[in-house]
């Protein structure tokens, strides 16, 4: 079985996908723009071959690499990056080489938030009102309809890049004077916590792993206001999240892949769908899956690819919390990392610096704590994230 792994060394923990696939007898073929010598030694050991291109954004170069792999190893069975940035390119390659998985025709509804909303509405999933805005007058009309504040974001965007909360007409006009040429969608602003429904589906679309995170704030606020990041898994997944999540998984026809669906939990206790991501949640979330459930989800994915059958395991997980500390001018954290490591050594699962590309969203330094319940972790997070003004 031939599996082309796009950009296999990014993020660094995704090497475990390659390692688990290799161990189960899958031929893993790496395709990226980094030098072979720069790859992690364990990743090198899992790759049967690595093809370097100069520019991963140049489709002709990537197409040529896949053609080379085909001529040398035969039919390609999977092409995957597990990375939001490459979803379109993955689908285009699958289309050109007739490979299992999402094809180019499937991607609009997966990537465009306006089309996502249509699916949510069709399935009667509560969703924030939204409208594509081509000019300032259309935007003002919609803002008047739903009331300020409003949220604007690229219709086809990644994370919180170019996402803003606008509070009045003046801010809206300034946005139009400075925005790029992307298509933007404007949405009513929903108050509430972000809760997720995450998991893994098999080749028939059956969910074989489920998880739910609670985020203390949205990524937009975390990035734009330079805030620290905290999120943790729920020991018991609420029934409404599970019910809506399973409907969405089926509606988007997910097969043999991880997913991350985000909802707002409103102050009144209701749910409002935000978006679906058809890849693993970012940062250290894959590892938190493993820490909290005492299992190897990298291996579970590899088992599905290799043709093994998995069943949903009914187990009560521990609570794991990710705490990301930001660096910035004008403030510092009151307690040093060394103090934190000593005080919470019994809860500590992981700590270390975060790659700069992720720092704006999840912090410059990441800490993962584990406990039977969330209360002790919330107390620890409050201590770890105490700031003082310089």
179 and 296 in a single domain? The answer is: no
148 shares a domain with 82: no
Average pLDDT over residues 311-319: 90
pLDDT given at position 72: 98
CA distance 285 to 371: 16
Q: Are residues 234 and 323 both part of a single domain? A: yes
Q: What is the mean pLDDT of the chain?
A: 94
d(CA 132, CA 152): 9
- C-alpha–C-alpha distance, residues 126 and 271, integer Å: 7
Residues 151 and 23 in one domain: no
Q: Which residues contact 156 (CB under 8 A, 6 or more apart)?
A: 111, 112, 113, 182, 183
Mean predicted confidence (pLDDT) in 262-280:
96
Same domain, 250 and 307: yes
For residue 24, count other CB atoms closer than 10 A to its CB. Answer: 15
Q: How many domains does the chain have?
A: 3
pLDDT in tens, 98-128: 999 999 999 999 999 999 999 999 999 999 9
CA torsion sign, 24 to 29 to 33 to 35?
positive
pLDDT at 224 over 70: no
pLDDT at 160: 57
171 and 252 both lie in a single domain = no
Query: What is the predicted pLDDT for the residue at 161?
Result: 63
pLDDT at 218: 64
Q: Which domain holds residue 174?
A: 129-188
- What is the structure's pLDDT at 136? 93
The verdict on residue 123 lying in a domain is: no
Cα(148)–Cα(143) distance, rounded to whole angstroms?
Answer: 6
Residue 117 domain-assigned (yes or no): no
Q: 223 in a domain, yes or no? A: yes
Residue 116 lies in a domain: no
Task: Return the pLDDT at 316.
Answer: 84
Say how far apart CA 56 and CA 188 lie, in whole Å: 36
Please tell me whether residues 308 and 374 are part of one structural domain: yes
Max Cα-Cα span within the chain? 61
Domain harbouring 146, CATH code: 3.30.1490.20
Whether residue 158 has pLDDT greater than 70: no
pLDDT surpasses 90 at 157: no
* In the predicted structure, residue 20 carries a pLDDT above the cut 80: yes
> Cβ distance 319 to 349 under 8 Å?
no
Is the previous residue joined to 149 through a cis bond, with omega within 30 degrees of 0? yes
Please report the pLDDT score of residue 288 as a whole number: 96
Same-domain status, 208 and 341: yes
Of 171, 188, 205, which closes a domain? 188
């Amino acid at each position: 079985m031939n599996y082309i792994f796009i950009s296999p060394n990014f993020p660094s923990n995704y090497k475990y996908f390659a390692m688990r696939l290799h161990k189960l007898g899958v031929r893993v073929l790496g395709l990226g723009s980094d030098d072979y010598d720069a790859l992690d030694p364990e990743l090198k050991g899992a790759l049967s071959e690595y093809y370097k291109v100069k520019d991963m954004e140049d489709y002709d170069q990537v197409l040529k690499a896949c053609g080379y792999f085909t001529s040398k190893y035969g039919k390609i069975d999977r092409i995957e990056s597990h990375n939001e940035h490459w979803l379109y390119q993955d689908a285009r390659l699958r289309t050109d080489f007739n490979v299992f998985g999402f094809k180019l025709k499937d991607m609009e509804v997966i990537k465009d938030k306006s089309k996502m909303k249509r699916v949510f509405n069709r399935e009667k999933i509560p969703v924030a009102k939204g409208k594509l805005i081509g000019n300032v007058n259309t935007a003002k009309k919609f803002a008047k309809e739903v009331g300020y504040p409003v949220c604007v974001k690229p219709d086809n965007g990644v994370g919180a890049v170019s996402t803003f909360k606008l509070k009045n007409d003046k801010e809206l006009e300034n946005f139009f004077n400075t925005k790029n040429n992307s298509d933007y969608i404007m949405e009513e602003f929903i108050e509430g916590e972000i809760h997720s429904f995450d998991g893994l589906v098999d080749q028939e679309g059956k969910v074989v792993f489920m998880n739910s995170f609670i985020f203390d704030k949205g990524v937009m606020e975390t990035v734009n206001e330079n805030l620290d990041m905290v999120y943790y898994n729920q020991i018991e997944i609420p029934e409404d999240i599970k019910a809506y999540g399973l409907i969405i998984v089926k509606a988007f026809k997910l097969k043999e892949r991880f997913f991350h669906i985000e909802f707002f939990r409103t102050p009144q206790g209701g749910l409002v769908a935000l978006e679906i991501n058809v890849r693993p949640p970012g940062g250290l979330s894959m590892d938190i899956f493993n820490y909290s459930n005492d299992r190897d989800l990298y291996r579970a994915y590899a088992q599905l690819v290799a043709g093994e059958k998995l069943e949903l395991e009914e187990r009560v997980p521990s609570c794991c919390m990710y705490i990301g500390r930001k660096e910035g001018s004008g403030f510092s954290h009151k307690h040093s990392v060394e103090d934190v490591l000593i005080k919470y050594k019994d809860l500590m699962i992981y700590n270390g610096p975060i790659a700069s590309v992720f720092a704006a969203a999840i912090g410059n330094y990441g800490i993962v704590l584990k406990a039977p319940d969330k209360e002790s972790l919330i107390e620890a997070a409050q201590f770890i994230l105490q700031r003082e003004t310089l």
